[in-house]
Structure 1
Amino acid sequence: MSNTAMNRRAIPAEAVESIWHAADQWAIRRIDWQGANPPRGSLLFLPGRGDHYEKYLETLAYYADAGWRVTAIDWRGQGESGRLLADPHVGHIDDFATWIADLRHFWNAWKQEKPGLHVVMAHSMGGQLAMRALVEKAIDPDAVVLSAPMLGIQTGGLPLALNHAFAKLMVKIGKGNDAAWKISEKPMSPMEMRGKMLTHDDARYEDEIAWWKLRPNVKLGPPSWHWIERAIASIRMLEAPGLLEAVKTPILLLATTGDQLVSTPRVIADSKRLPHAEILIFGKEAAHELLREADPVRDQCLARIDSFLEANAPRP
């Protein structure tokens, strides 16, 4: 557990929020802070689709208390890093390569300003982007932790290629900028079911809703059809033989068979392709947001991450 008494619905006094500008001058929101301990290294947290860094303050505080210089960003088009469509509640991107380019640019600047070991921690879509960035050598961290990474998505039992073909069709007929469904995190799922899809901890789930009221600009709804098509394209790209096999970075993957959003079988399969991967799999006791789960699951995640970082990004 964190050493600091944590108010998950307030920015810590020692944290600094600021704006960083991407190569094209797009404003990207970031948060940085360091605990009282002497720094043991620098940790960059990459959130998931529709996320904003406020959701992860508790976890960021845990690592700041452990002596890491902690940074998190909002992806372009999410949180308070602007929006890409006229409808601010539709999640969108022209191509996942845009996010990789942003990350490459940010990583180079961040490494210069933050000395010592460099670790990446990423959730869901952030995990897909982190893996692509490793493959494309956009980042070169000492160690990586992926929470429920979007290496595959739930397809309702249908082949991924069929889902991709349908998304391409929707884009082709002019629906690319439309929301792919109405509410929540997946089609046909009512909003009242959203919490259980993400975490078994009601209070942690309510933190996100509270932030939507405190900072309405951070709220984002379902993705566009174009986002769906580009997401599947990015997932399929990593299927190419030799790509994951060439990633030498130590990686810890956390996943759950109770995940209704990402494909845990794909996470397990991909972990076997990575030369230096460890994996921790939960069952029905855990939903998608492992770092925002009830304490019995979250504490196991933190303990496993701590031992992984001690082994692969040891204290100086």
Structure 2
Amino acid sequence: MSDIREQPKIFEVPGNPAPKGLVVRYLTTSDRKRLRYAISKGENSSRGTVLLLQGRNESLEKYFETMVDLNARGFAVVTFDWRGQGGSERLIAQSSLGHVKHIGQYLIDVECMMQEVVLPDCRAPYNILAHSMGGLIALHASSRLVNQVERLVLLAPLIGFAPSLPSLATLDRIAHTARWLGLSTRPVRRSIPGRLPNPADNPLTSDLTRYKRNRLLAQIAPDLFVDRPTVAWLASMTRAMRRLESSAEIAALSIPSLFVIPGADQVVSPSAAERLAFRMRCGSSLTIPRARHELLQEADVFREQALEVVDAYIGADASLAAE
């Protein structure tokens, strides 16, 4: 249920103002967790609505610029902070840790946003644009959204971790053993990815202006962000990724999906995303060479390519449906 009585705070930094007319509210999910969400309709949303699913340790403020760009292309944008991060309700006392019990909790977030906000308040057709962890969740949510969502665009989706980490099977085994031992809310030893390094070497974006802007946001609003994930989060993600190795799981995916893969991604596995897209009957992939993990925070030469791909993939059908 949407709660309009309390106005959530938003945080702006120089060079990243909130879109004009932005509506920010709280939503209480079916299992009583409070999510912060935003709607940006712009001056013309005749091409429908994009539900933007964030990655791990993100907040809606990071997507102000993207909201403005999509509004200019004729799309309304709805986005929200996942439970446990951003301006949404934390799940454990150690609020600095990224935690979830299982991926089903994130699926509740998506379903409640669709049912309580997107479907009643926003114009059809509906498409999902998802980044990293949001892409993994979108795939698992797709069977529940098949009659509501037209297409998925998955940017750098979390289908596998970077090759520099242990194998997915090894991480899955370690995480589930630790959870069985009662360590669910303990932090993993190594963050995935770790703390942001020096600007010149960061794996997220080659655009230092956007990089520094996001660092400034973290400095002025540290409560929006989390540090290391918990054992339970890692176990949830590894199990969700391994489920996508199953032919039966892949066969159940029926919403047309485009995987947009940064060619220089060091955070998640580009090859794992390519393999899944190839195995899906409704999937395809496109690689943007030399781009880093956060395509919507990247330098304009890469970011504009990603936006054009989004526009072309969901825009043609959306335009016809809006006529």
Task: Name the TM-score, length of structure 1 as normaliser.
Answer: 0.90
Per the alignment, residue 293 of structure 1 pairs with 298
Report the Cα distance in structure 2 between the residues aligned to 1:120 and 1:190, rounded to whole angstroms. 28
Inter-CA distance 246–176: structure 2 relative to 1 (3 Å threshold): closer
Show the counterpart of 1:234.
Answer: 240
Question: Aligned with 2:84: secondary structure?
Answer: coil
Distance in 2 between the 1:194 and 1:182 partners?
21
Number of residue equivalences: 308
Compared CA separation, residues 38 and 74, structure 1 to 2 (3 A): closer
Aligned 8 A contact 1:9 1:210 in 2? no
Matched, 1:202 2:208: yes
* CA-CA distance at 1:79 after TM superposition: 0.1
CA drift at 1:38: 4.9
Distance 2:56 2:251 in 1: 26
Alignment of 1:1-316 (within 5 A): 8-109=15-116, 110-137=118-145, 140-156=148-164, 158-181=166-189, 185-186=192-193, 191-192=197-198, 196-283=202-289, 285-315=290-320, 316=322
Structure-2 separation of matches of 1:230 and 1:72: 22
> Are the counterparts in 2 of residues 144 and 252 from structure 1 also a CA contact under 8 Å?
yes
Identity %: 27
Q: 1:250 to 1:224 in 2, by over 3 A?
A: same
Q: Secondary structure at the match of 2:319?
A: coil
Contact 1:104 1:139 in 2 (8 A): no
Deviation at 1:132, TM superposition (A): 0.3
Distance 2:37 2:147 in 1: 18
Q: Measured at CA, do residues 271 and 38 of structure 1 come closer, stay the same or move farther in structure 2, by a change above 3 Å?
A: closer
Write the distance in 1 (CA, Å) between the matches of 2:190 and 2:240: 24
Mapped to 2, the partners of 1:148 and 1:124 lie a distance apart of 5
Looking at structure 1, the residues matched to 173 and 274 of structure 2 have their Cα atoms a distance apart, in angstroms, of 25
Q: Secondary structure at the match of 2:173?
A: helix
The Cα offsets for residues 202-252 of structure 1, whole Å up to 9 and x where unpaired, read as: 111122222223323212112112211111011111222132233232212
| Aligned-partner SS, 1:70 | strand
Q: 1:115-136: CA deviations, max 9, x gaps?
A: 3200111100000000000135
Which stretch of structure 1 is more off in the superposition, 240-249 or 257-266? 240-249
- Distance (whole Å) between structure 2 residues aligned to residue 222 and residue 168 of structure 1: 17
SS of structure 1 residue aligned to 2:303: helix
Aligned residues of 1:14 and 1:33 also touching (Cα < 8 A): yes
Whichever residue aligns with residue 106 of structure 1, its letter is M
Unpaired segments of 5 or more residues in structure 2?
1-12
Normalising by structure 2, what TM-score?
Answer: 0.88
Gaps of 5+ in 1: 1-5
**Aligned alpha-carbon RMSD (Å):** 2.2
Quick check: 2:129–2:152 contact (8 Å CA) kept in 1?
A: yes
Contact 1:180–1:225 (8 Å) recurs in 2 = yes
CA gap of 1:148–1:304, structure 2 versus 1, over 3 A, is same
Taking structure 1 as reference, are residues 88 and 194 closer, same or farther at Cα in structure 2, changes over 3 Å only? Answer: farther
Q: Which amino acid aligns with 1:306?
A: D
| 1:158–1:77 Cα change, 3 Å | closer
User: Shift of the alpha carbon at 1:166?
Assistant: 1.4
Q: What does the per-residue CA deviation read over 1:140-192, in whole Å, with 9 as the maximum and x for residues that have no partner? A: 31111111011122253643211211122333344321221366x435x6633
Structure 1 residue identity aligned to 2:99: H
